[in-house]
């Protein structure tokens, strides 16, 4: 990765945060230590503590306090701090306002990193944006760089925090490659170490999907864990995801659709098929001009149309590198062929 020559007076290693974090964790309970660390960062006047503290507040779910620290960095006389403030404003907006992934990626492209740590964060942000567009193969292009930089990172404070980000991306990466044992290993590690209800809720929500071919009970357990955590979150997208997508989807897969509803167009059809309302589902799906791979799967399942199911399978693989959900049309094809 390119060296951007950060000035020594801005201290890119910033051992003070690492040492303070360790001291607080050795002295107080985990939750007390996290809150005291938050206060320490907000009261700091040291440039490196102020900008690297953004990552601490962000990953620990201090979304009410984060704007204050963003504004402190934006008002800093140091250009590198201003850049970090702008980037975390972008990250916060991504969740709070549900920024369109294409707009998010366009803004990420304008970042000209003033230090290596920011270049690394920019790389991760590119992965987030592409994942949101179902380009799950993009992380594979970055994988070696992501892991090598983290291994060689001297800033131990950021190294621990960035490791959480990398584990989260690795969870999604292995899930989409249908490598579920590996993916879940990262997910459970995150759940055991994260103290951010929103992030943990999102992980439980994805874990629910990883069990759709194995266990209704396991899938629903994680869905309801996510729903419970969503009640404590400042962002309402998690609750919507669980109630309108995840629970209806799992219910439809297992034919337990009675009493379940959704506002999501695809899941409306999926639930109808599960309830045996096949003609209504076909009519509804045929009203769309463009069908996603999921909707093609639903229509192929309803019509028992192997060509549609094959097209859905091919699109999951070729357009999204999604080997997990490609199992849906593949299983239906095998069922129709009596395999």
* pLDDT of 132 strictly over 60: yes
Kindly state the average pLDDT of the residues 7-17.
Answer: 65
Domain, as residue range, for 95: 8-161
Mean pLDDT for the stretch of residues 112-130: 96
In a domain, 19, yes or no: yes
- The CA distances from residue 258 to 78, 126, 235, 294, in Å, are 59, 40, 29, 21
Write b or e for each residue in 237-262: b if 16 or more Cβ atoms lie within 10 A of its Cβ, otherwise e. Answer: ebbebbbbbbbbbbbbbeeebeebeb
List, for residues 155-193, the tens digit of each pLDDT value: 999 999 999 999 999 999 999 999 999 999 999 999 998
- CA separation for the pair 222, 168 (Å, rounded): 16
Task: Please report whether residue 331 resides in a domain.
Answer: no
Of the pLDDT bands very low, low, confident and very high (cuts 50, 70, 90), residue 339 is confident
pLDDT band at 11 (very low <50, low <70, confident <90, very high): low
Q: What is the DSSP letter of 117?
A: H
The pLDDT assigned to 10 comes to: 52
Residue 151 domain-assigned (yes or no): yes
Listed in order, strand segments (DSSP E) in 19-99 are none
Q: What is the mean pLDDT of residues 15-21?
A: 93
Lowest mean pLDDT among 15-24, 62-71, 91-100: 91-100
The residue among 115, 106, 24 whose CA lies nearest residue 78 is: 115
CA distances from 244 to 264, 300, 338 (A): 6, 22, 33
Query: In whole numbers, what is the pLDDT of the chain averaged over residues?
Result: 93
| 36 within a domain of the structure (yes/no) | yes
Q: Is residue 35 part of a domain?
A: yes
The helix (run of H) or strand (run of E) holding residue 150 is: helix 138-152
Question: What pLDDT was estimated at residue 6?
Answer: 37
Calculate mean pLDDT across residues 46-51.
Answer: 96
Number of independent structural domains in the chain = 1
Give the pLDDT score at 194: 86
Does pLDDT of 40 surpass 90? yes
pLDDT at 328: 98
Distance, CA of 252 to chain centre: 24
Residue 323, pLDDT score: 98
pLDDT over 90, % of the chain: 86
Alpha helices in 153-236 (DSSP H): 156-176, 180-193, 197-210, 216-230
pLDDT 10s digits, 214-266: 999 999 999 999 999 998 877 778 999 999 999 999 999 999 999 999 999 99
Q: What gap in Å lies between CA 124 and CA 130, rounded to an integer? A: 10
Integer Cα distance of 227 and 240 in angstroms: 9
Per-residue pLDDT tens over the stretch 75-87: 999 999 999 999 9
207-215 average pLDDT score: 99
* Residue 62 pLDDT level (bands cut at 50, 70, 90): very high
- The confidence score (pLDDT) of residue 4 equals 41
Which residue from 248, 266, 244, 265 is spatially nearest to 257, judged by alpha carbons? 248
- The length of the chain is 339
Two tokens at 196?
């951010």
Please give the average per-residue pLDDT across 271-287, as a whole number. 97
**In a domain? residue 69:** yes
Q: Is residue 252 in some structural domain?
A: no
The answer to whether position 233 is within a domain reads: no
pLDDT, position 12: 65
């Amino acid at each position: 990765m390119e060296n951007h020559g950060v000035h020594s007076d801005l201290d890119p290693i910033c051992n003070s945060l690492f040492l303070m974090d360790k001291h607080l964790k050795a002295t107080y309970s985990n939750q007390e230590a996290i809150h005291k660390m938050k206060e320490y960062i907000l009261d700091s006047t040291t440039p490196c503590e102020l900008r690297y503290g953004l990552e601490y507040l962000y990953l620990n779910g201090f979304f009410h306090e984060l704007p204050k620290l963003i504004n402190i960095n934006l008002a800093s006389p140091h250009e590198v701090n201003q850049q970090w403030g702008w980037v975390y404003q972008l990250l916060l907006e991504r969740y709070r306002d549900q920024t369109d992934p294409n707009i998010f990626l366009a803004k990420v492209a304008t970042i000209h990193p003033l230090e290596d740590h920011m270049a690394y964060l920019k790389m991760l942000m590119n992965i987030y944006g592409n994942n949101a567009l179902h380009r799950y193969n993009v992380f594979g292009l970055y994988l070696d760089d992501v892991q090598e930089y983290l291994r060689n990172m001297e800033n131990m404070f950021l190294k621990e925090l960035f490791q959480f980000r990398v584990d989260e991306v690795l969870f999604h990466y292995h899930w989409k490659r249908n490598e579920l044992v590996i993916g879940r290993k990262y997910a459970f590690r995150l759940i055991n170490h994260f103290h951010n209800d929103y992030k943990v809720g999102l992980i439980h929500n994805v874990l629910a999907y990883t069990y759709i071919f194995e266990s209704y009970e396991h899938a629903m357990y994680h869905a309801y864990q996510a729903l419970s955590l969503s009640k404590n979150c400042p962002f309402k997208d998690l609750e919507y995801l669980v109630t309108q997508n995840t629970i209806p989807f799992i219910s439809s897969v297992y034919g337990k659709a009675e009493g379940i509803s959704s506002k999501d167009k695809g899941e409306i059809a999926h639930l109808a098929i599960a309830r045996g309302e096949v003609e209504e589902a076909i009519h509804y799906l045929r009203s769309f001009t463009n069908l996603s791979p999921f909707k093609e799967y639903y229509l192929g399942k309803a019509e028992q149309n192997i060509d549609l199911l094959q097209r859905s399978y091919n699109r999951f693989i070729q357009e999204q590198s999604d080997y997990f959900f490609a199992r849906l049309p593949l299983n239906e094809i095998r069922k129709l062929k009596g395999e």
